[in-house]
Amino acid sequence: MLLLYYFNWAGTPEEFRQFAKRMKSIIKGTEGVEFNGFFIPTSEWHYVLVMKATNYEKSLQVMKTYIEKFGWAKTSLAKAELLHTFGDLGLTIRQIAQLDGRDVEVFMEQEPGSSGVNDIDRYAGNVLLGNSFRGIRSTGRQGALC
């Protein structure tokens, strides 16, 4: 499974290098996860962390490990913004899903409440129509899933 974590960076270039080094180290030490690089999209997001994982839970393990070891990075992962931004982001997600093929499952974190259900429905019906797609509900401590 290919995972894309869109985020904005609020730190210095040196702090970003340190963040990247730490993420690479955590990913390297996590079985079933592979670092594929950072991508700089032409959209409102500054960066995208790209990695492959055997399942969605492995990607959450990487993020949780980072937070436990180093605290919050100087990023704005803004899950709600990610789910509400359909412009370039929706197009990028659709293109990647098309490249992966319809046999690759696509997962997205589902925010609590009816707005989260509506967001998943919009992605399923507009962005990822015809793909195997589902939302995964957040559980546990909120900070552990970012």
Question: What are the domain boundaries of the chain?
Answer: 2-145
- 92 φ/ψ angles, rounded to the nearest 5 degrees: -60, -45
Least confident of 32-36, 85-89, 128-132: 85-89
| Confidence grade of residue 33 (pLDDT, cut at 50, 70, 90) | very high
Residue 101 corresponds to which tokens in the numbers above?
């093929």
Inter-CA distances, 100 with 2, 33, 60, 61, 134, Å: 9, 18, 21, 23, 16
Report how far residue 79's alpha carbon sits from residue 142's, in angstroms, rounded to the nearest whole number: 11
Return the pLDDT at 30: 95
Q: How far is CA 125 from CA 60, 71, 74, 119, in A?
A: 26, 36, 33, 10
pLDDT, one tens digit per residue, over 88-103 is 667 777 777 777 777 7
**Which of 14-18, 86-90, 92-96, 124-128 shows the lowest per-residue confidence on average (mean pLDDT)?**
86-90
Task: Specify the pLDDT at position 143.
Answer: 53
pTM score: 0.51
